[in-house]
Copies of this chain bind each other. A is one copy, B any other.
Amino acid sequence: MDQSNTPPDHRSPPDGAGRRVYEHLRTQIADGTLGPGAALPSTRALAADMGVSRTTVTTAYEQLSAEGFIVTSGGRVACVASPLAAHPAPRPARRARKAPPLSEFGRRVAAIEMPAAVPADAGHVDFLYGAVAFRDFPVLAWRRAYQAQLLRHQERLCYAPPEGDADLRRALRGYLARARGLRCDAEQIVVVHGSQQAIDLCARLLLDPGDRFVFEDPGYLMARRSFEAAGGRAVPVPVDAHGLVTSALADDRPARLAYVTPSHQFPLGGVLPIARRRELLQWATRHEAWVVEDDYDGEFRYGQRPVDALQSIDQDGRVLYVGTFSKALSPQLRLGYLVLPADLVPVFRQAKRLADRHAPLLEQRVLAALIDSGAYERHVRRVRRENERRRAALLEAVARHLPAQAHVGGTAAGLHVVLWLPWLAPADEPAIAAGARRKKVGLHPLSPLFAHGDADPRPRGAGFILGYASLDADAIDRGVRLLAAAIRAHASG
């Protein structure tokens, strides 16, 4: 038997091995890799790592200690001495002589202007949409289920199926039927890394560069950017208090897909009536177009049963339903799912496998266990009540602190409302947001979500998206009071 590439078995130090160990550590200390106070590896571990004897390492440590770079005492692990030069050594310049080009997709991505996510400072009341309260997360139930799944024996740890864990898909099928009136087989479900990945996969698999897509105006910017990065051209269709104005869907500008939020239009909050739902599906059939239904907060409807998903009345297999755990659990989990027309299942599975193999298995199994035990639906009901209270506090605070002309839209569902200030102009929004920020209130203007920004030709006032799911009632009241002050200051400024 010939074992090619087998390393030599002996580990006698090569010439100058002690010097090599010394220089290795010296460099790491000089450039900050091993910062002041950092523990050095044990002599045994470093000896094994560098393929030298332990004596060699000890000698190098002694040298470094003698030179004052490290501190050793008795049998304790050696530490880097402090203070040393606090800053790492300058690195070699990393600029390419002539950088190779990006792909066309890369150039489109690089050209997209996205507002940098500005994290709110601590202590701010941030009406950030998409954030949820830390204390709403079901820590105990999650921890218990996580521990159980962590200890659950597996024959080996290997890649899992791209479409997601079978138990989770089966549990989701039942949940979606109970909660969203959505009928599907578990086979139609693909588990993804949050709704953003669902949208990105739709963009990649369904749109070619130059293709048109119907987009709600105003609408969800991150979805629009994904479709544009794929080379799509947005066809903005206006939105009113009931969602997408389907009568404005033009027959002369064929589109490959429509991206819609029928359960709770983002951002304006309308719930699409059944007649418009039918009209949208008929349009899709007429144009051989796909419909991407983003049900981003469909669990949160107040005062009545949530409206069934658009997917539930789709007869032709045109609707791709997008669901997420970001609102009911946490946006930091990065877990969501697609419910696909049966024809699209194979290509989405394959694309998911190429994109990143599959969603993390342990978290999928935790979710499956929580849904199966009923804990997930109890949690959703509890959070829905919490958010109903927050919504009430917000409406009260607006009535208390803001002029009577202010009005609030989109309150029937979801985790945000839109605050309209009809006596102000869209162009006033940035100044008011800046004033609010100085008062420690995070405020998010509406205009960037319109296709034409604050140059939108339709007559409308200034508007702000007020997300409330991460705030308690006191913070909501304080935030609206400070926001009212910022509006007054703007008027008098």
Contacts and interface: CB of A to CB of B under 8 A. Distances in A.
A103 B290 CA distance: 12
Nearest to A136: B157
Nearest to A470: B156
Interface stretch (A92-100, A433-441, A444-452, A485-493): A92-100
Contacts of A188: 94
B132 A156 contact: yes
A54 interface: no
B381 A45 contact: yes
Contacts of A211: 103
A325 B24 CA distance: 25
Interface string A224-265: 011001100000000001000000000000001100000000
A56 interface: no
Contacts of A275: none
Contacts of A81: none
Interface size class of A (residues with CB under 8 A): 35 or more
A192 B130 CA distance: 21
B178 A33 contact: yes
Interface in A52-89: none
A290 to B, nearest CB: 5
Contact of A360 (B2, B131, B334, B374): B334
A405 B287 CA distance: 64
A354 B156 contact: no
B194 A1 contact: no
A363 B193 CA distance: 14
Contacts of A411: 3-6
A340 to B, nearest CB: 9
B157 A330 contact: yes
Given A5-B411, A302-B7, A102 B347 contact: yes
B194 A356 contact: yes
B342 A94 contact: yes
Contacts of A3: 395, 407-409, 411
Interface string A39-55: 10100010011110000
A229 to B, nearest CB: 6
- List the 7 shortest-distance A-B pairs measured between CB atoms, nearest first: A51-B304, A131-B158, A7-B303, A156-B470, A106-B205, A197-B356, A193-B356
14 contacts: A4-B410, A50-B304, A100-B206, A103-B205, A104-B208, A106-B347, A109-B351, A112-B354, A131-B157, A139-B150, A139-B151, A157-B332, A193-B193, A196-B354
Given A106-B205, A134-B155, 12 more contacts: A8-B303, A11-B303, A92-B315, A99-B317, A109-B350, A109-B354, A114-B353, A132-B156, A157-B330, A193-B356, A200-B355, A222-B354
